[in-house]
Chain A
Amino acid sequence: MTPASLRGWRLVHRWTSLICSVNLLILCVTGLILVFHHEIQHLMGEELDTSYQEGQARLPLDTLVDIAHKSDPAKEPKFISFDPEDPAASYIYLSPPGASDFEGGSWVVLNAFTGSNQVLKPPTETVTGFLLKLHVDLFTGFAGQMFVGVMGLLFVVSTVSGLVVYGPFMKKLAFGLLRFGRGTRIANIDLHNLFGVTTLVWAFVVGLTGAILSFSPLIIGYWQQTEMAAMIGRHHGEALTGPTVAVDRVAEAGLVAFPGKDLAFIAFPGNSYASERHFSVGVRGHTELTQRILSVALVDAGTGTLAEKAETPWYITMLLLSGPFHFGDYGGLPLQIIWAIFTIITGVVTVTGFVVWLKRPRARTAPAATFSERKA
């Protein structure tokens, strides 16, 4: 590498890191706690009652939708979502008539076996809900979420540029050498290099998937406006005036279209995931991997017949698979603990990197030129 390009990479590493450092620390602290959100919800008594008898039958979907609707008759059911890990948890979204997005409505959570209504506190009133909001958008909505996404991309560039400048720096140093007692700057440089390079792949993956998740409104919006719109456009799209068919029939039509799959969601006509006259039924597989990948069937709301079915495009699959690789929730409690330790180390890399910058030599002619300056 030429000295000029190395200088360029150094600048890239310095500035991408500095710009995202404050946000990155917030993400590390909140993320560290959010890794254990299930355990925390359990401790706080905020988890759902999803108990049922062995062999007990699930209630029909129409019954669940009715129970949800009666709890808030002014709103209409628009969406049902199913938990792949918990057959008893059904989430039903109610929103004012005419609303197609997920603003201004509320989620009702029902036990699918007993029909018991689980009143959920608004997310911002729970510990994990508060931390999640801080983590995702700094309490500033869509704009904040895009900001955090850009910070995530800067972090990804920072990991890559960090790797590039690591090589020349370590030319005459043994891997993992820690020189405590040679001053604050050198001690921090060594810690930064060791921790940074050992956790690099994890940090890159978690940073990149986090950025992808941040941009999810844009990615989903693009899918709705292109492939979904095209799918819906191939069928007569005028709104249905008569009654719609039973939700259970819709679910059945979706499951028949994809044999062997499980329900993931049902979007009602008028919702942004469906059309004015179609339900859409999302299905998923069973394995650790395929339960995270969705396929969608469009079902006519008047006749209950399948209009069209499709796999989701690659970028939706990429978005869906970003979830586990960001949350670390796909390998049990040991993986959560591993995730937490990596998060702490990433926080240390951020702080030591910042200290190295704070303690930078002010003038290149200073007699106490540090090691890194002499290397350059």
Chain B
Amino acid sequence: MSGIWRVPAALAVLSTVGLAAAILGDGAWDWICWIALSVPLAVCAVKLWRQRPSPRS
């Protein structure tokens, strides 16, 4: 798989696992769901924070 798809594919797998986990049960399943689905959100936040426009420009 080329570099373009490495991160998006990983996030897609995590999203799928996260979405499915909480419907399968409670407790640990919920935690898998919360953690897995938080990763794409965290990636957005980190990318945005690290490349935020500087106040000067």
Chain A interface residues toward B at CB < 8 A:
166-167, 170-171, 175-178, 180-181, 194-195, 197-202, 205, 287-289, 321, 324-325, 330-332, 334-335, 338, 341-342, 345
Expressed in whole angstroms, the Cα–Cα distance for A202 and B33 within the complex equals 12
Mask for B6-40, Cβ within 8 A of A = 1, else 0? 11100110011001001111100110011001101
The smallest beta-carbon distance between B36 and chain A, in angstroms, is 10
CB closest residue in chain B, given A178: B51
8 additional A-B pairs beyond A167-B5, A178-B51, A194-B48, beta carbons within 8 Å, are: A175-B3, A176-B43, A177-B51, A178-B48, A288-B26, A331-B34, A338-B37, A345-B44
* Cβ A176 vs Cβ B52 within 8 A: no
CB closest residue in chain A, given B32: A331
Expressed in whole angstroms, the Cα–Cα distance for A287 and B27 within the complex equals 12
Instruction: State which of B24, B33, B53 has its C-beta within 8 Å of the C-beta of A180.
Output: B53
Chain B interface residues toward A at CB < 8 A:
3-8, 11-12, 15-16, 19, 22-26, 29-30, 33-34, 37-38, 40-41, 43-44, 47-48, 51-53, 57
In the assembled complex, which residues on chain A have CB atoms less than 8 Å from the CB atom of B19? 201-202, 205, 325
Instruction: State which of A324, A334, A345 has its C-beta within 8 Å of the C-beta of B23.
Output: A324
Instruction: State which of B3, B12, B41 has its C-beta within 8 Å of the C-beta of A200.
Output: B12
Instruction: State which of A167, A197, A324, A338 has its C-beta within 8 Å of the C-beta of B41.
Output: A338
* Cβ A198 vs Cβ B43 within 8 A: yes
The smallest beta-carbon distance between B29 and chain A, in angstroms, is 8
- 19 A-B pairs with C-beta separation under 8 A: A166-B4, A175-B4, A175-B6, A176-B7, A180-B51, A180-B52, A180-B57, A195-B44, A198-B41, A199-B15, A199-B44, A201-B15, A202-B19, A288-B24, A321-B23, A331-B33, A335-B33, A338-B37, A341-B41
The smallest beta-carbon distance between A333 and chain B, in angstroms, is 10
* Cβ A199 vs Cβ B53 within 8 A: no
The smallest beta-carbon distance between B40 and chain A, in angstroms, is 4
Expressed in whole angstroms, the Cα–Cα distance for A194 and B16 within the complex equals 18
Expressed in whole angstroms, the Cα–Cα distance for A331 and B23 within the complex equals 8
What 10 pairs between A and B have smallest CB-CB spacing? A331-B22, A201-B15, A180-B53, A176-B47, A178-B51, A198-B40, A175-B7, A181-B57, A334-B34, A197-B8
CB closest residue in chain A, given B4: A170
* Cβ A171 vs Cβ B43 within 8 A: no
Expressed in whole angstroms, the Cα–Cα distance for A205 and B52 within the complex equals 30
* Cβ A178 vs Cβ B34 within 8 A: no
Expressed in whole angstroms, the Cα–Cα distance for A324 and B3 within the complex equals 34
* Cβ A330 vs Cβ B38 within 8 A: no
Expressed in whole angstroms, the Cα–Cα distance for A201 and B3 within the complex equals 19
Question: By CB atoms of chain B within 10 A, which of A176, A324, A345 has the most?
Answer: A176
The smallest beta-carbon distance between A204 and chain B, in angstroms, is 9
In the assembled complex, which residues on chain A have CB atoms less than 8 Å from the CB atom of B53? 180-181
CB closest residue in chain A, given B53: A180
Expressed in whole angstroms, the Cα–Cα distance for A321 and B44 within the complex equals 29
In the assembled complex, which residues on chain B have CB atoms less than 8 Å from the CB atom of A321? 23
Question: By CB atoms of chain B within 10 A, which of A194, A198, A341 has the most?
Answer: A198
In the assembled complex, which residues on chain A have CB atoms less than 8 Å from the CB atom of B3? 175
* Cβ B8 vs Cβ A342 within 8 A: no
The smallest beta-carbon distance between B48 and chain A, in angstroms, is 7
Instruction: State which of A166, A194, A335 has its C-beta within 8 Å of the C-beta of B37.
Output: A335
In the assembled complex, which residues on chain A have CB atoms less than 8 Å from the CB atom of B29? 288
Instruction: State which of A178, A288, A345 has its C-beta within 8 Å of the C-beta of B22.
Output: A288
Expressed in whole angstroms, the Cα–Cα distance for A306 and B7 within the complex equals 55
The smallest beta-carbon distance between B55 and chain A, in angstroms, is 11
* Cβ B43 vs Cβ A332 within 8 A: no
Instruction: State which of B7, B11, B24, B30 has its C-beta within 8 Å of the C-beta of A289.
Output: B24
In the assembled complex, which residues on chain B have CB atoms less than 8 Å from the CB atom of A181? 53, 57
Expressed in whole angstroms, the Cα–Cα distance for A335 and B18 within the complex equals 10
Known: A180-B53, A331-B30, A338-B34. A201 touches B12 (CB 8 A): yes
